[in-house]
Structure 1
Amino acid sequence: MTFKEKLDAAWAHSASLLMVGLDPDPARFPAELQGRPDAIFEFCRAIVDATAPYVCGFKPQIAYFAAERAEDQLEALCRHIRSHYPALPLVLDAKRGDIGSTAEQYAREAFERYNADAVTVNPYMGHDSVAPYLEWKDRGVIVLCRTSNPGGSDLQFIEDARGTPLYLRVASMVAETWNRDAQCGLVVGATFPTEIARVRERVGDMPLLIPGIGAQGGSVPDTVKAGRDSRGTGMMINSSRAILYAGQGDDWRTAAAEAARATRDAINAVP
């Protein structure tokens, strides 16, 4: 099963467009996990188990693990997701971008070491820096397009000679040239619903990974209306901190599950 086929099946079977981002910050962990050498894995595993009924996939952010020298715990977490929730896509959020020979190694890291279904990449260095990921025909390559951070406008709004902003140039390039095997998706932030709509118009039914709801303040109704595709799906709407840290007491697992359920229901309620 390819990434796109797996994602389509997850949308259908889960009745959810919510993706939970796994950004573990040990300083915010509940008291019962403080000081444990396996705290990062145990926290993320519990979040995965609590929220799995309400999501279409999981997105671990590699920097949160690497900064704590916890890549082995990320490996264990990826194995847990693959073994216990094989129908849910696993997207490694790495935002890699480098020359082809280095990209080959980053692709091996994502797809062999962590066995991710998809990985996020930066298109700034052009097609040859993305091509090694596309060699993995059953895996997804999700390209940064219109990011959710305010500073994204510094470069993404620069216009070419025809007046097309860079983020739309990226969207067209990925849709028309890079996506020959239906592997690609785009990252478009919920904080910019107008740009989500413009990207959707450019790329048809290509999947969009949409961060920015929850802690970053993106609007669920605006996001859904701007980003859904011709089938009413087409989005992995990511929420991280608002779900991970919904509760700080002994009920933190239940609080995360309730936050995920409420977010899923809010997405599904948009007419």
Structure 2
Amino acid sequence: MDRASLFAAIQKKQSYLCVGLDTDIQKIPSHLLKEKDPVFAFNKAIIDATAEYAVAYKPNLAFYEAMGLAGWESLQKTLDYIPKDIFTIADAKRGDIGNTSGLYARAFFEAMNFDSVTVAPYMGEDSVKPFLAFEGKWVILLGLTSNAGSEDFQSLKMASGLRLYEQVLETSQLWGTPDNMMYVIGATKAQQFGEIRKRIPDHFLLVPGVGAQGGDLRSVSQYGMNPQCGLLVNSSRGIIYASSGADFAQKAGEEARKIQQEMAEYLHLFL
């Protein structure tokens, strides 16, 4: 999916919601455990309930890898079920030497046909470039994350006077463009969005941390939005685990709709 198509979807749905499919077999409603593929049954119901409100889905691969081959099969079925006009993100956080990164890129972009993959920048340009070689696909580079431990390294000041995450934003813009590269910027860092936007005014930002992690959607929208919206705001647990009962899909849909309605308001206010 290219940038224009993504923005068109945002305008059509009046939403920049990304639903995180962090599906834990130990947390899904017990009645689904009778299904042949409980994880896919759960994901299918969540997608059916939220697709009209979401412009992206983001499976976190750890939840699938932990189940071995069965997990990979559930993931592929989930990916195949997602409507083709909805952006897909492999939340894999890969990053390795160039030839290995090339194989990761083939896995996610050719074998599985994701639209994008999250990538760690620590090993530098040659570890990221192989992902950028695929036409019509996106790299989502880790910039400033929402976890508490992000302060250990990402905010350290360098000799240049820049913080490490700021150097990542500056240097990586030489690798890709706003048409094939996004950044992960955590919602819990909302106070820094204005400054970040000055450095990367045109790129899309994938924003985790809204909802269960305490991020503020209004602040993220006000300071993070650009003329093409430029935001994909992720909610995982707050939607998919809105209920643990038989009504889990209905409650997920209601929660997604609530977020979409708030987003529609902010699109009107800030776009």
Q: Name the CA distance, whole Å, in 2 between partners of 1:167 and 1:181.
A: 18
| Alpha-carbon distance between aligned partners in 2 of 1:197 and 1:211, rounded to the nearest angstrom | 17
Q: Distance in 1 between matches of 2:227 and 2:6?
A: 16
Aligned to 1:185, the other structure's residue is in SS state: strand
- AA at the equivalent of 2:234: N
Go from structure 1 to structure 2 and tell me whether the alpha carbon gap of 1:181 and 1:209 turns closer, same or farther (over 3 Å shift): closer
Match of 2:37 in 1: 38
Work out whether residues 204 and 232 of structure 2, in 8 Å CA contact, stay in contact via their aligned partners in 1: yes
1:164-221: CA deviation from partner (whole Å, max 9, x where unpaired): 111111112223x012472000000000112222211111121000000111111111
Match of 1:259 in 2: 255
Query: Matches of 1:148 and 1:6 in 2, distance apart?
Result: 28
Task: Provide the TM-score with structure 2 as the length reference.
Answer: 0.94
In structure 2, distance between residues paired with 1:182 and 1:258:
32
Matched to 2:142, the amino acid is L
Gaps of 5+ in 2: none
Q: How many residues align?
A: 265
Greater CA drift, 3-12 or 55-64: 3-12
Q: 2:188 aligns with which of 175, 188, 191?
A: 191
* 1:74 paired residue number: 75
Task: Pick from 236, 241, 247 the counterpart of residue 240 of structure 1.
Answer: 236
Aligned to 2:115: 117
* AA at the equivalent of 1:139: K
In 1, the alpha carbon distance for the partners of 2:63 and 2:92 equals 10
Q: Are the aligned partners of 1:3 and 1:118 in contact in 2 as well (CA < 8 Å)?
A: no
1:269 aligns to what SS in structure 2? helix
Secondary structure at the residue paired with 2:91? Answer: strand
Structure 1 stretches lacking a partner, 5+ long: none
The alpha-carbon distance between structure 1 residues 199 and 178, as it changes in their structure 2 partners (threshold 3 A), is same
Output the TM-score relative to the length of structure 1.
Answer: 0.94
Match of 2:159?
161
Q: Which residue does 1:62 correspond to in 2? A: 61
Contact map agreement 1:3 1:117 (CA 8 A) in 2? no
In structure 1, what residue type is equivalent to 2:130?
Answer: P
Gap change, CA 1:265 and 1:180, over 3 Å in 2: closer
Between the two proteins, what is the percent identity of the paired residues?
38
Please name the residue that 1:26 is paired with: 25
Q: Is the 8 A contact 1:4 1:140 kept in 2?
A: no
AA matched with 1:38: D
